[in-house]
Amino acid sequence: MGPTMKVTTHPTADTLTLVLDGELDASSAVVLDAELNKPEIVNYKKVLIDCQRLSYISSAGLGVFISHLQRLQDSDVKLVFFNMQEKVFNVFEILGLDSLMNIVPTQEEAQAA
């Protein structure tokens, strides 16, 4: 069994974009966690998560974002999600994370946020 999700990073001067492709479950959560755990992440002003190809998120996947949320906020790094599929958004919404996290429809809005 290979990893169920691919993470691609696109760094620019002050923005780091993570493109998630696949299912974010317990196994792929480890990969994403390693990416968000990198110390240089606090040097960016914004971390954008491209969810266009994210087809599923499990509680372990949500846990990764939850555990990094406080740290990023404390370091003044904005965490913005965009292009989220409805099914995945529902999971964020039910858990109440939509009130806590910045989820916008498009990449342009994410960059403007």
Partner 1 sequence: MPKVRRSAWFLALASLCWLVLLLSTLSRGQPIAGLPANWPRWVLLLAQGGFAASVFMYARLQPEPLAGQNFIGLLRRLFLRGLGLTLGLGALVGIEQLTSHHTLALPGNTTTAVVYTVALALFMVFLAQTLYTWRSLVNFRGGAKLRREWVVFEVLLGLTLLLQLFSWHIPDGVRLGSGIVLGLFGIYLSGHQRWIAYLSLGEKWQAILLQLGVLGLTVFFLLYLRGAQTDPVLLVPATQSSFLVFNSFFATFYALAGLMITLFNLPVAKVFEERRAEIMSLQQLSQIIQRGQSTPEIYQILFNSAIQTSKADAGALLPPRGVVGSALPAPLLHHLAPADLDAITAVLVPTPGTNHLPEIVENDLHRSQRIKDLPGVYGSVAVLPLHNTAHDYGTLVLLSHEPFTFDSEVLSILHAFTAQTVLSFENLQLAQEALNNQRTQDELRIAALVQERLIPRQLPTDDWFEVATYAQAAKEVGGDFYDFLHLPGQKLAVLIGDVSGKGVTAAFHTAQMKGIFHALMQANPLAKKERDRYPDPHRFMVQANEALTHCLERSSFITAAFYLIDYQAGGFSFARAGHCHTLYYHSIQEEVSYFRTEGLGLGIIRNAGYEKHVKTQFWDYNPGDVMVIYTDGIVEARDGDGNEYGEERLRQMLETCFYQTAAEINEELRHDVQEFSRGQPLHDDQTLLVIKFKAAQPHA
Beta carbon nearer to partner 1, 58 or 107 = 58
Q: Is 50 exposed, middle or buried (0-12, 13-18, 19+ CB in 10 A)?
A: buried
User: For partner 1, which is the closer residue by CB, 98 or 111?
Assistant: 98
**Minimum CB distance to partner 1 smaller for 60 or for 113:** 60
Instruction: Give which of 80, 82, 23, 17 is closest to 51, Cα–Cα.
Output: 82
Count the Cβ atoms, other than its own, within 10 Å of residue 106. 10
Interacting residues with partner 1 (CB under 8 A): 2-3, 26, 31, 33-34, 59-60, 62-64, 66-67, 69-70, 87, 94-97, 99-100
Closest CB 80 distance from partner 1, rounded Å: 18
